[in-house]
Structure 1
Amino acid sequence: MSHEPLGTALIHCTRHIFGRMPPQLAALDVIPDEDPAAALAGARELMSRINDGSGVLVLTDIYGATPSRIAAKLAEPHRVVVIAGVNLPLLVKALYNRRVPLDEVTDMLSESARNAILEIVPQAAPGDAADGSTGEEDGEGNAKA
């Protein structure tokens, strides 16, 4: 459950990754000015269609925004878990672990999410060293100038 069109876009990405549409996966994109009561009813109906009895994991985008406030009304201990801060790595991990009990997958996803945002620092190519060296080393691991 997210701001339109994020949920649908994430599902399309999973189809690309898995080569098919993963089962028991659905998006509810909340459109601007949508009646929250109507969105909640739609979410409940969608959950009833995809829940196989093992529980439901609801991923939402921004904590405190309309989609997450609606999603929070769906939460039920040990049956429906809501996690805010959805992104593609989180969704893929949830799908790979879909047969893990709900409480365990929730802990796994929360821990994983804390470590999922990384800065990618470019590596200097050989010969591009800022100190004017060639980036080459002698036989003992010392930089050659």
Structure 2
Amino acid sequence: MSIGILLITHPGIGDMLLKNASELLGNCPLRIRCLDIPLDDDREQLMQLAQKSARALDDGSGVLILTDAFGATPSNIACELTREIQANVVSGLNLPMLIRVFNYSSDDLAALTHKAAEGGIRGIQVSRATEEES
């Protein structure tokens, strides 16, 4: 048994991150699906699609839902799903977060949720030009 991963994002973001992470690491060790949330689609229909996707991924271990922007429609749909299935949501999806999830694929839902958030945060670094380059 392993955690299912559901990427709920604005169009194209989840697919592109998944493609890049899979190319970098060779393959995806988890059951994973991407769900694009277009800006103008019917919210109820999208919610039903999200429920179906999450249930298909859950083998009893739970689902980790990764979204791109907290407070946006993909994130709101993801948070609603946690009322119906065993799932955790981490927003702010980025490539380091997804790679970290792949690398800890045997963790349980709580640990994998923590690793995802930690990977996303650690993947953000600020660099600045030296005075000579400015």
- Per the shorter chain, which TM-score range? 0.7 to 0.9
**Could you state the TM-score of these two structures normalised by the residue count of structure 1?**
0.75
* Percent identity of equivalent pairs: 30
Q: Which has the larger radius of gyration?
A: 1
Counterpart of 1:41? 48
- Which residue among 50, 54, 58 is the counterpart of 2:61? 54
Name which structure has the greater RCO, CA cutoff 8 Å, separation 6+: 2
- Could you tell me whether the CA contact under 8 Å between 2:29 and 2:105 is conserved in 1? no
The change in CA–CA distance for 1:41 and 1:102 in structure 2 (over 3 A counts) is same
Q: Provide runs of 4+ in structure 1 moved above 4 Å.
A: none
| Alpha-carbon shift at residue 121 of structure 1 (Å) | 4.7
**Stretches of structure 1 lacking an aligned partner (at least 5 in a row):** 124-129, 131-145
- Which residue among 104, 113, 126 is the counterpart of 2:111? 104
Q: Is residue 19 of structure 1 aligned with residue 29 of structure 2? A: no
| 2-structure distance, mates of 1:20, 1:111 | 22
Higher strand share: 2
Q: Is residue 30 of structure 1 aligned with residue 26 of structure 2? A: no
| 1-structure distance, mates of 2:50, 2:127 | 37
Q: Which amino acid aligns with 1:97?
A: Y
- Could you tell me whether the CA contact under 8 Å between 2:96 and 2:119 is conserved in 1? no
Q: Which runs of structure 2 are paired with 1:1-145 in the superposition (5 Å)?
A: 1-76=8-83, 79-121=86-128
**Stretches of structure 2 lacking an aligned partner (at least 5 in a row):** 1-7
Partner secondary structure for residue 81 of structure 2: coil
| 2-structure distance, mates of 1:114, 1:121 | 18
**Could you state the TM-score of these two structures normalised by the residue count of structure 2?**
0.81
